[in-house]
């Protein structure tokens, strides 16, 4: 994908789509070399990358959340930065700050690690809300205001945040406004027996203690390639019935029994953008209802709130959303 993407004939557009799909699938293949199993998680992260969104990765320690982000950074030729979120982390540690230069007797802006293409926000819920809020403007507006100046962040820009669900001590809940900025909340679960066997076999041969080495992975795409993928995906044809299905799903959460808080319009937009990205990833010519359905849980689970009585009964948000997906009729194309 070295040549510039230009609008042209239908056959030219189809050729561009095919090449973009091949590039996305090559990236998927490289990531699967580093992260054994977890195919759904890899696809969800690639969906967000192609859709231009951010991802919140949740899972117990040791499942490879950080490894996945490191592998993606290795396969991506853009800039990568990591912030380890801790209780004493300050907003200026994330965004940057003004420094007084004694020689020029002027303040100079020192940009923080936020100014990158791929940002790993590790254990984001270990920092207080004030520091978490430092990400809000960057995630939504793709810019950071420092000393009254709005500084743009280079594109593409993606935040991959990790959090551990079971470690409650020393953690802070993410504000709803910030949760809504994440296009997807992806849950990593334990691998199955065969995958865990393969993982133990590979890691135990590695020279890096209990880690898989991402160095053998090849760089598949550059920053301009990601932008081209995003452009091509946003142009994928979508029938009005499929668009209506995405909106109906999001709207249904607002009145669904068992949910006290429904998803806002940003969820409808995320469903459509993710569905286009999934269609491109599978090599489709247009978006189908299954593309919407396939990303619905990851798009909706962090934007809705379970009713207290269901929470007490031990029901999970995903169970209620699965019922919703089964009962809201999908269009037949």
Report the predicted TM-score, pTM, of the whole model to 2 decimal places: 0.88
> Do the beta carbons of residue 303 and residue 53 sit within 8 Å?
no
Cα–Cα distance list, 203 to 71, 73, 187 (Å): 15, 20, 22
Contacts of 197 (CB under 8 A, 6+ apart): none
Answer yes or no: is pLDDT of 7 > 70.
no
> Do the beta carbons of residue 181 and residue 139 sit within 8 Å?
yes
> Do the beta carbons of residue 114 and residue 158 sit within 8 Å?
no
pLDDT recorded at residue 276: 97
Residue 212 — pLDDT band, cuts 50, 70, 90? low
Cα–Cα distance list, 275 to 13, 209, 213 (Å): 19, 39, 32
Most confidently predicted of 1-5, 87-91, 147-151: 87-91
Mean pLDDT of 72-93: 89
Answer yes or no: is pLDDT of 8 > 90.
no
Using alpha carbons only, give the angle 109, 114, 119 rounded to the nearest 5 degrees. Answer: 160
Instruction: Give the integer Cα–Cα distance in Å for 23 and 42.
Output: 15
Using alpha carbons only, give the angle 202, 65, 39 rounded to the nearest 5 degrees. Answer: 70
Residue 3 — pLDDT band, cuts 50, 70, 90? very low
**pLDDT per residue as tens digits for the range 159-202:** 999 987 755 566 777 878 888 899 999 998 887 888 778 777 77
> Do the beta carbons of residue 281 and residue 297 sit within 8 Å?
no
Answer yes or no: is pLDDT of 211 > 60.
no
How far is CA 78 from its chain centroid? 16
Answer yes or no: is pLDDT of 48 > 70.
yes
Tokens of residue 309, six digits? 């009585």
DSSP codes of every residue in 141-192: HSEEEETTEEEEPPSS-EEEEEE-SS--TT--PPPHHHHHH-SEEEE-----
Tokens of residue 283, six digits? 């090599």
Tell me the helices (H) and strands (E) count for the chain, helix number first: 14, 11
> Do the beta carbons of residue 27 and residue 221 sit within 8 Å?
yes
Residue 207 — pLDDT band, cuts 50, 70, 90? low
> Do the beta carbons of residue 126 and residue 85 sit within 8 Å?
yes
pLDDT recorded at residue 167: 56
pLDDT recorded at residue 5: 46
Instruction: Give the integer Cα–Cα distance in Å for 14 and 20.
Output: 10
> Do the beta carbons of residue 132 and residue 175 sit within 8 Å?
yes
User: Which is higher by pLDDT, 64 or 50?
Assistant: 50
Q: Which domains does the chain have, with CATH numbers?
A: 1-235 (3.40.50.300), 237-333 (1.10.8.80)
**pLDDT per residue as tens digits for the range 97-111:** 877 777 777 777 788
User: Which is higher by pLDDT, 100 or 228?
Assistant: 228
- Comparing 60-64, 128-132, 134-138, 226-230, the range with the smallest average pLDDT is 60-64
Sign of CA dihedral 41, 42, 43, 44: positive
Average pLDDT of the chain to the nearest whole number: 86
Answer yes or no: is pLDDT of 2 > 50.
no
Sign of CA dihedral 308, 294, 122, 95: negative
Identify the three-state secondary structure at position 312: helix
**pLDDT per residue as tens digits for the range 263-294:** 999 999 999 999 999 999 999 999 999 999 99
Mean pLDDT of 234-246: 95
User: Which is higher by pLDDT, 333 or 27?
Assistant: 27
Torsion of CA 269, 287, 233, 10, to 10 degrees: -140
Instruction: Give the integer Cα–Cα distance in Å for 234 and 242.
Output: 15
pLDDT recorded at residue 4: 47
- What do you get for the CA distance between the two ends of the chain, in Å? 32
Residue 252 — pLDDT band, cuts 50, 70, 90? very high
């Amino acid at each position: 994908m070295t040549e510039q993407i230009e609008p042209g004939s239908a056959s030219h557009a189809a050729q561009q789509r095919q090449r973009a799909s091949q590039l996305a699938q090559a990236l998927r293949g490289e990531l699967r070399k580093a992260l054994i199993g977890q195919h759904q998680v890899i696809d969800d992260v690639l969906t967000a990358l192609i859709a231009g969104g951010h991802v919140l990765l949740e899972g117990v320690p040791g499942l490879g959340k950080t490894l996945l982000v490191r592998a993606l950074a290795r396969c991506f030729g853009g800039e990568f930065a990591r912030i380890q979120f801790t209780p004493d982390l300050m907003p200026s540690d994330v965004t940057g700050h003004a420094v007084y230069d004694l020689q020029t007797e002027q303040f100079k802006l020192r940009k923080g690690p936020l100014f990158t293409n791929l940002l790993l926000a590790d254990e984001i819920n270990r920092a207080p809300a004030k520091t978490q809020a430092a990400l809000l403007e960057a995630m939504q507006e793709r810019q950071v205001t420092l000393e009254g100046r709005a500084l743009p962040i280079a594109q593409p820009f993606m935040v991959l945040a990790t959090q551990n669900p079971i470690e409650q001590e020393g953690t802070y809940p993410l504000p709803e406004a910030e949760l809504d900025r994440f296009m997807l909340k992806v849950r990593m679960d334990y691998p199955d027996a065969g995958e865990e066997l393969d993982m133990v076999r590979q890691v135990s041969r590695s020279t890096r203690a209990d880690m898989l080495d991402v160095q053998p992975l090849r760089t598949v795409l550059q920053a301009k390639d990601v932008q081209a993928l995003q452009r091509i995906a946003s142009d994928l044809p979508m029938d009005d019935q499929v668009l209506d299905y995405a909106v109906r799903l999001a709207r249904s959460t607002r009145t669904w029994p068992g949910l006290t808080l429904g998803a806002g319009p940003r969820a409808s937009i995320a469903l459509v953008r993710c569905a286009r990205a999934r269609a491109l990833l599978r090599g489709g010519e247009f978006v189908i209802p299954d593309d919407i359905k396939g990303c619905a849980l990851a798009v909706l689970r962090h934007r809705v709130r379970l009713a207290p009585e269901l929470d007490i009964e031990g029901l999970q948000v995903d169970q209620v959303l699965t019922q919703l997906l089964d009962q809201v009729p999908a269009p037949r194309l």
